[in-house]
Amino acid sequence: MTDRLFDLSGRTAVVTGAGRGLGRAMSLALAGAGADVAIPDIDESSARSVAEEIRSLGRRSLAVATDVTDPAQVDIMAQRVMQEWGHIDILVNNAGINIRKPILELSVDEWDAVYRVNLKAVFICSRRIAREMMPRNYGKIVNIASLAGVMILKSLDMSPYYVTKAAVVQFTRAAASEWARHGIRVNAISPGWFITDLNKHLWEDPVGSKVRLDHTPMGRVGQPEELAGTVIYLASAASDYVTGQNLPVDGGYTVW
């Protein structure tokens, strides 16, 4: 019984922006649990590479060149997945960007760029995929927020990121409330310090690195595969009575 709780055999998943980093790790985790995984990414080459990794695990995969801020492209992506597999059970809204500048130095275009990818795309993808989930009265949506959505990080000026990730948490709650009657559970994961393309330059500074690790009870950064358990849990039957929640995976950073 316990094994079946986390078994994703027969399920299909869409993981946005999964051509690298945490999205790649979560896609491989879902495939390892039995799901077929579609990879919509603006970088088609990276998406194809991850799709090949998934196929090597014995699961089906689709790489779909997609700008997730464009409703028309998201619609085409969803149609393709439905044509190939007939249903979409899991959506992980992972695509994200960051621009680090003080507020007075930010341009409106820079603010809008972060908003479009980090928040607008979550709305666009969730709304489109939810429409495929509703007829089956089943679905799991996992939004990737951030510890920056619940706190301000000292010496890191990145107001659009703070605001959009906080909004992702609230959107998660709003969607969970509206879609519960349709059998769709909507939850968020807030990763702490994982080294990714977005933040790897921060770890080149030994002083700043020490400050961040000193504030982390576990005293280290996370490894991408350490998100596997959380995303599988939220995508599987194990979390069928969980919705509207935000789960930090941060080595204890938000404890202090």
Active site residues: 161
Spatial distance between the Cα atoms of 84 and 54, rounded to a whole number of angstroms: 16
Cα(219)–Cα(134) distance, rounded to whole angstroms?
43
Residue 69 to residue 60: CA distance in whole angstroms: 25
Strand partners, 139: 184
With a CB cutoff of 8 Å and minimum separation 6, the contacts of 210 are none
Burial zone of 10 (CB within 10 Å; 0-12 exposed, 13-18 middle, 19+ buried): exposed
Q: Which residues lie closer than 8 Å to 76 by C-beta, 6 or more apart?
A: 64, 66
Q: Are 99 and 114 spatial neighbours (Cβ–Cβ below 8 Å)? A: yes
C-alpha 159/C-alpha 124 separation (Å) is 22
Q: How far apart are CA 15 and CA 202, in angstroms?
A: 26
